[in-house]
């Protein structure tokens, strides 16, 4: 089958680029897949997408949308009409096409528009839903009225998105919300999947200095200030050599955030800001960390990092917020919890893991088993199974006499 | 977890009981592979005794489905308890597998009395 995938992709730095990289890496190894066209966003002038060289299905790039643009849907539909794939997949979240409401929302109509313009099935992997995103933290609603309007139109555009043939979500609660609120009968739960096959589990070494690491795109609902204050507190209370690694870059919605934080907390020693972390540096990033911390105010974008932390067998310190804890428990992970935005609570949670190696190793083992239970290459099989069902239905719809 | 295999005509039936999760998957996969090696016309997996199933077990069933189809054969599931049925519906794998109410319904549909 020939697949078109609407997504971000490295070296593009939009959210879900790493997920796409791993998804495509395994998708192209499947014998059912003949060719993959990645419908990707425009890169800065000095960058370009490059084909992977290892064996597998053909990959090509069609650069046909731009973050914040208003005409993304039209361009994507035109690309699909030009390519004529068997199926169109979307690897998106509600703000994939823009940080502003209108471009973000308009982009979400692309699956419906493809369906209207062609008879090609569409399958959306949706990484979050409007109902569980803290709009204020995500920068989408500064006052109550705007928030209400955003939610109102968010519901309308969610309905548009649900006109895709299938919508996959990685958290059971998201499936339940879409089924209950929108009466959707085309949504399904799909495992997130571990990005790579399991590396051997190496427990963190017992010797100092301990290293605390956080990873993500920061500035909206991922804020490092409470974490830095927690590290400062621990450095002053028994862990003077404790290191903090802030790995990752600014959220597209918060340019300059990390530079400001770096200036503001220049007095706190042993903090390293890595900037964007290339794929090759990810293993060292995780294996050198004693503890991985999630200083998040919302669960959006958390599951990918949790799976990575688990796949490298790291103990995690997690915020005690609604569906994040649910995800952790349902998928078999264990963590040390802290009260979001409370640096003393966060310091206590980190200290518990640093001071009790046996407890830390238990969490490392547990998270390792949870993350490596279902590697991405198997998750891709689930998607292909659903696609085969879709293609079978599409064939029957086009050829009713042959049912 | 308890697993037993039985052959009826050219159909192999694998019956699983207990908690079907990551710890039970290796043993189940041995039974699936042994059944597939017999090159049956059809493999029926009876999940009537399964009271819990996790994603690794679902993945094992998906793998088994792919393998039997590679052998031009097919795989059906039967006798799903409500909790297991809900998981299949949530993941929409109920659309990918042929599901039967019980073993005799599966065998009847396959033409095995």
Closest residue to B96, CB basis, from A172, A369, A385: A385
Q: Residues A88, A114: contact at Cβ < 8 Å?
A: yes
For residue A386, name the pLDDT band (cuts at 50, 70, 90).
very high
A246 alpha carbon, distance to own chain's centre: 18
For residue A15, name the pLDDT band (cuts at 50, 70, 90).
confident
pLDDT < 70 positions in chain B: 113
Phi/psi for A244 (5° steps) reads -125, 130
Report the residue of chain A nearest B92, measured CA to CA.
A188
CA distances from B17 to A15, A257, B28, B43, B100 (A): 42, 54, 11, 17, 17
> What is d(CA A211, CA A256) in angstroms, rounded to the nearest whole number?
25
Q: Does domain B2-109 have CATH number 3.40.50.10420?
A: no
A61: its two tokens: 């790039």
Q: Residues B28, B20: contact at Cβ < 8 Å?
A: yes
Percent helix / strand / coil, chain A, rounded to 5: 40, 20, 40
Pairing of strands A2-6, A35-41: parallel
Q: Tokens 């017992």 label which residue?
A: A206
For residue A390, name the pLDDT band (cuts at 50, 70, 90).
very high
A374 CB neighbours in chain B (<8 A) are 55-56, 59
CB pairs under 8 A between A and B: 43
For residue A289, name the pLDDT band (cuts at 50, 70, 90).
very high
> What is the per-residue pLDDT across A129-181, written as a single tens digit (0 to 9) for each?
887 765 555 555 567 777 778 778 888 889 999 999 999 998 888 999 999 99
A372 CB neighbours in chain B (<8 A) are none
Q: Residues B46, B78: contact at Cβ < 8 Å?
A: yes
B98-100: strand order across its sheet = B2-8, B11-20, B42-53, B74-78, B98-100
Q: Residues A127, A114: contact at Cβ < 8 Å?
A: no
Phi/psi for A111 (5° steps) reads -60, -45
Percent of chain A at pLDDT above 70?
Answer: 89
A109: pLDDT strictly greater than 50:
yes
For residue A402, name the pLDDT band (cuts at 50, 70, 90).
very low
> What is d(CA B92, CA A395) in angstroms, rounded to the nearest whole number?
19
Which residues, in sequence order, are CB contacts of A50 under 8 Å at separation 6+?
none
Chain B residue set in contact with A, beta carbons under 8 Å: 22, 54-56, 59, 62-63, 65-66, 90-93, 95-96
* pLDDT given at position A322: 75
Could you give the domains of chain A?
A: 2-193+375-402 (3.40.50.2000), 211-371 (3.40.50.2000)
Percent of chain A at pLDDT above 90?
Answer: 62
* pLDDT given at position A99: 86
Query: Does pTM surpass 0.90?
Result: no
Eight-state DSSP code of residue A403: -
Calculate mean pLDDT across residues A113-122: 95
User: What is chain A's alpha carbon radius of gyration, rounded to the nearest angstrom?
Assistant: 21
A41: pLDDT strictly greater than 70:
yes
> What is the per-residue pLDDT across A324-363, written as a single tens digit (0 to 9) for each?
776 676 677 889 999 988 999 999 999 999 999 999 998 9
Give the gap in angstroms from C-alpha B59 to the nearest C-alpha of chain A: 7
The ipTM, to two decimals, is 0.91
* Among A175, A131, A174, A167, CA closest to A151: A131
CA distances from B113 to A129, B10, B11, B103, B109 (A): 49, 12, 11, 11, 9
Domain ranges of chain B: 2-109
* Mutation target among B20, B68, B69, B91 for the A interface, most CBs of A within 10 A: B91
Q: What is the rounded average pLDDT for all residues in chain A? A: 88
A275: its two tokens: 């900037």
Give the gap in angstroms from C-alpha A19 to the nearest C-alpha of chain B: 19
More confident residue, A321 or A298: A321
A229: pLDDT strictly greater than 70:
yes
DSSP element (H, E) containing A250? strand A243-250
Give the gap in angstroms from C-alpha A386 to the nearest C-alpha of chain B: 7
* pLDDT given at position A173: 85
> What is the per-residue pLDDT across A161-174, written as a single tens digit (0 to 9) for each?
999 999 999 888 89
Q: Residues A306, A334: contact at Cβ < 8 Å?
A: no
Closest residue to B56, CB basis, from A172, A373, A386: A373
């Amino acid at each position: 089958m020939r697949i078109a995938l609407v997504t971000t992709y490295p070296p593009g730095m939009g959210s879900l680029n790493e997920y796409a990289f791993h998804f495509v890496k395994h998708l192209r190894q499947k014998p059912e897949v003949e060719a993959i066209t990645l419908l990707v966003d425009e890169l800065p002038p000095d960058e370009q997408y490059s084909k992977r060289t290892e064996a597998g299905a053909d990959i090509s790039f069609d650069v046909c949308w731009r973050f914040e643009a208003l005409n993304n849907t039209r361009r994507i539909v035109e690309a699909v009409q030009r390519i004529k794939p068997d199926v169109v997949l979307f690897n998106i979240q509600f703000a994939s096409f823009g940080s502003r409401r209108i471009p973000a929302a308009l982009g979400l109509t692309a699956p419906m528009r493809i369906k209207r313009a062609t008879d090609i099935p569409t399958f959306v992997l949706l990484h979050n839903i409007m109902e569980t995103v803290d709009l204020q933290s995500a920068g989408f609603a500064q006052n109550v009225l705007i928030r209400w309007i955003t939610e109102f139109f968010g519901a309308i555009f969610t309905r548009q998105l649900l006109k895709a043939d299938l919508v996959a979500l990685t958290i059971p609660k998201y499936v339940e919300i879409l089924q209950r609120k929108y009466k959707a009968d085309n949504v399904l739960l799909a495992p997130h999947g571990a990005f790579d096959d399991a590396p051997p589990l190496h427990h963190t070494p017992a010797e100092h200095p301990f290293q605390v690491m956080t990873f993500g795109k920061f500035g909206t609902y991922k804020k490092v200030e409470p974490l830095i204050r927690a590290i400062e507190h621990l450095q002053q209370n028994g862990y003077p050599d404790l290191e903090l690694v802030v790995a990752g870059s600014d959220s597209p919605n918060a340019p300059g955030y990390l530079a400001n934080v770096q200036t503001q907390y220049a007095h706190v020693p042993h903090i390293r800001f890595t900037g964007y972390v290339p794929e090759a540096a990810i293993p060292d990033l995780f294996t050198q960390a004693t503890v991985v911390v999630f200083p998040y105010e919302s669960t959006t974008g958390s599951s990918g990092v949790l799976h990575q932390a688990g796949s490298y067998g790291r103990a995690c310190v997690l915020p005690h917020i609604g569906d994040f804890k649910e995800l952790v428990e349902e998928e078999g992970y264990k963590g040390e919890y802290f009260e979001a935005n409370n640096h003393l609570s966060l310091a206590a949670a980190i200290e518990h893991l640093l001071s009790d190696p046996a407890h830390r190793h238990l969490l490392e083992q547990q998270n390792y088993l949870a993350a490596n239970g279902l590697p991405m290459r198997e998750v891709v099989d689930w998607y292909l199974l659903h696609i085969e069902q879709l293609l079978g239905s599409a064939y029957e719809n086009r050829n009713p006499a042959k049912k | 977890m308890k697993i037993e295999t039985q052959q009826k005509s050219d159909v192999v039936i694998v019956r699983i009981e207990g908690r079907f999760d990551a710890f039970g998957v290796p043993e189940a996969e041995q039974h699936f592979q042994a059944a597939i090696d017999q090159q049956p016309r059809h493999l029926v997996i009876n999940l009537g005794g399964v009271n819990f199933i996790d994603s690794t077990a679902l993945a094992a069933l998906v793998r088994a489905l792919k393998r039997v189809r590679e052998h031009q054969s097919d795989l059906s599931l039967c006798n799903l308890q409500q909790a297991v049925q809900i998981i299949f519906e949530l993941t929409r794998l109920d659309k990918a597998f042929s599901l039967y109410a019980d073993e005799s319904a599966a065998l009847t549909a396959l033409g095995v009395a």
